[in-house]
Amino acid sequence: MAMLLSAARLWDGHRLVDRPLIRIEDGLIVSIGRAEPGNQPPQSAGDFHSPTATLAPAFFDVHIHGAAGHDVMEATPEALGAMGRFLATRGTANYLATTVTAPLEATLRAVSGLAKLIQSPGVLAVGDAPAARPIGIHIEGPFLSSKRCGVQPKEHLLAPSISIFDRLYEAAEGQIRLMTLAPELPGAIELVRHAVARGVRVSLGHSDANTAETLAAVAAGATSATHVFNAMRPLDHREPGILGVALATDALNAEFICDGIHTAPEIARLWYRAKGPERAILVTDAISATGMSDGEYTLGGFPVRVANGRAMARGVLAGSVLTLDRALANLLVFTGAPLADALRLLSTNPAAMTGLEAIAGSVEVGKPANLVAVDRQGKLLLSIIHGKLATSP
């Protein structure tokens, strides 16, 4: 099936292109040209032409636990298929399936099942409905601080251990791409070095680390910070700690949950000004309730109550019901960031941080056709995932 797209501009992951004309065939981008001024391309069924929209790479979420009533810890084709089909309608093409702290054997089973699904993406599709695909695993735990664990179950936290990490890595068949870790814990710095040597990116979070402990992790190879401002030592002007280092250094990318619930809009502006368009990453931290009505849900097996867009468990926030298209629109309102810069935060930047630029984060000839079209306010107008139009049910 062939498809033709044109718009006012294209953010292709590297630069802005005026009046792009993109042709898609058999799920791939086969050409990227320019539409002549005043010459509207011929339109067939399934084509998209807009004189005002911006085309961009489809979104990549490096921190997501679930959606559409399912949790990634289920690790079944049915769960990830339903989750992926919903995410595709919201502009997300790829994600890192993110685990939560759980009994070690449960986590081993989950990452093993996820690895098989990552390596067999076709099993997630149902009919013509495209599905976002997991392209790696993010293990959020068990090597976290009991003081800053948030909703992560304290009883299942473990001290950083190279041998336990290796068990997880082998069970996941090498598909672990990102690990969140508290750098102040004994053995953490050695584990950072070991994980990085195996090709895993390390993100610092759920941590009470001070400045020196954070800098030691950066020197060992850590490259990001997990949902900054949340589940970490607050900023102090004499001991900046993990948050101060994350905001002040270009060595760390910084995840941010831009839902107006996890942080105030003023904090979104502070974060964006500190990190800029090249080191900031939008994530959802979404749970199974995303895309569903208020009610009772689960996160990694424990109960979560969702009411008025707020997910709570044990008296604290338990992830979100955010989608990346909504995060983009919120960011534009909260910060006034230029649209092209904002689009980097949920496509180009996460791909660069994880080293997955060959799969995600850009629009290029020969790549799978994963694109979105948005208006000036960041509202999603079109989602094409793996060459197919994704429409809401």
**Among 151, 187, 168, 194, which residue's Cα sits nearest to residue 304?**
151
Question: Is the bond leading into 153 cis (omega within 30 degrees of zero)?
Answer: no
Looking up tokens 């005002």, which residue turns up?
52
Beta bridge partners of 24: 3, 29
Q: For the chain, how far is it from start to end, CA to CA, in angstroms? A: 22
- Residue 276's contacts (CB-CB under 8 Å, 6 or more residues apart) are none
* Candidate list 71, 208, 259, 285, residue with the active-site label: 285
Token pair, residue 32, equals 């990227």
Length of the chain: 393
In order, the DSSP letters of 196-241 are HHTT-EEEE-SB---HHHHHHHHHHT--EESSTTSSBPPP-SSS-H
Spell out the alpha helix ranges (H) of 47-187: 77-89, 104-118, 162-171
CA dist 206 and 225 (Å) reads 9
Q: Is 285 one of the catalytic residues?
A: yes
CA dist 97 and 288 (Å) reads 12
Strand ranges across the sheet with 371-374: 16-18, 9-11, 54-57, 371-374, 380-385, 388-389
Q: Annotated active-site positions, please?
A: 285
